[in-house]
Structure 1
Amino acid sequence: MTQQVERKPGTPGRFSRWLQRTMGARAARKIRDGKGQMMGMDVLVLNTIGRRSGEPRATALAWFPDGDAWLVVASGGGSQHPDWHANLTAHPDQVTVEFAGQPAVPVSAERLGKAERAEAWKQIAEAQPRIAKYQEKSEREYPVIRLTRR
């Protein structure tokens, strides 16, 4: 007999999480094979360490230029911070990024404060209006993370 598990409304179910992992792994493979854009956005692979498992995790993300750094948005489908955000926060010294067909680059991650986020958000929303639309539908403010080469 299968036991039903109660979950908070708006959180992903088992199938949704499986689909996210499967599609994320596929996207990461494509980036590593040299594809630097998906759905009209520049993409990278963010490598973190699982906060509970200690296992390596790879996540394909859209990125936005910020001088010599890169910005990523922790949207997580709107309802909650994504797993990669928790992993990055738990192990900030073990983060790397990979760009299309390039070796991993060690980075430091910094969550932008209110004023910096507002300025960065203008650039992000202008570059990708669909992200701004997602933000408008969410009750929480998406964190914006600056990744800087170590």
Structure 2
Amino acid sequence: MTEPMVFGAEHVRQYEKSDGELGYLRHGAPILILTTTGRKTGRPRKVALIFQEHEGCYVVVASNGGAADHPDWYKNLRVDPEVRVQVKADRFAARARTATGEERERLWRIMAAVFPTYDEYRRRTEREIPVVVLEPKR
């Protein structure tokens, strides 16, 4: 049975309710739930993101589909890098940081291998799309 394709808040809700049994894979890529603190509201904000585990950390891309502006979740973590992460049933605190230089390029290649559409998004925008490393606090 193929699971229905859901997006946004409904994707997050199903993922959390099922401990990732629903919504963990999208287009063959693994998904995590990232919770940031709203920079304006101070309230938790959740988003489902493609990720790759790398050297004990989790890497995500602030692509915003190649839009001209960064996604809200990225703007939030720039103000407060203390985040919560859920990978399947595993929930943990993490600290987010933006990769730069050679690390960014190396991680971009890893993420584009997971989801090749990132390269298309990069061509759509003039901004440098941030690559974010989520460092677990365990």
Q: Which amino acid aligns with 1:39?
A: H
Distance in 1, Cα, partners of 2:113 & 2:27: 16
Distance in 2, Cα, partners of 1:103 & 1:68: 14
Q: Is 1:81 equivalent to 2:70 in the alignment?
A: yes
Q: Which amino acid aligns with 1:31?
A: Y
Distance in 1, Cα, partners of 2:87 & 2:59: 13
- TM-score normalized by the length of structure 2: 0.85
> Contact conserved, 1:51 with 1:90, CA < 8 A, in 2?
yes
Distance in 2, Cα, partners of 1:71 & 1:52: 25
Distance in 1, Cα, partners of 2:41 & 2:90: 24
Distance in 2, Cα, partners of 1:107 & 1:149: 4
Which of the residues 95, 102, 106 maps onto 1:115? 102
Distance in 2, Cα, partners of 1:47 & 1:55: 10
Which of the residues 9, 15, 31 maps onto 1:31? 15
Superimposed CA distance per residue, residues 16-49 of structure 1 (whole angstroms, 9 cap, x where no aligned partner) = xxxxxx9311111222112211122100110011
Distance in 2, Cα, partners of 1:128 & 1:92: 24
Secondary structure, counterpart of 1:60 in structure 2: strand
Shift in Å, 1:109: 0.7
Give the percent of matched residue pairs that are identical in Structure 1 and Structure 2. 33
> Contact conserved, 1:31 with 1:99, CA < 8 A, in 2?
no
Which is further off, 127-136 or 37-46? 127-136
Please give the root-mean-square deviation of Cα atoms over the aligned residues, in Å.
Answer: 1.5
Distance in 1, Cα, partners of 2:135 & 2:129: 19
Aligned residues: 127
Decide which structure has greater strand share. Answer: 2
Q: Which amino acid aligns with 1:47?
A: T
Secondary structure, counterpart of 2:53 in structure 1: strand
Distance in 1, Cα, partners of 2:80 & 2:46: 14
Query: Which has the greater radius of gyration?
Result: 1
Decide which structure has greater helix share. Answer: 1
Secondary structure, counterpart of 2:65 in structure 1: coil
Q: Is 1:142 equivalent to 2:129 in the alignment?
A: yes
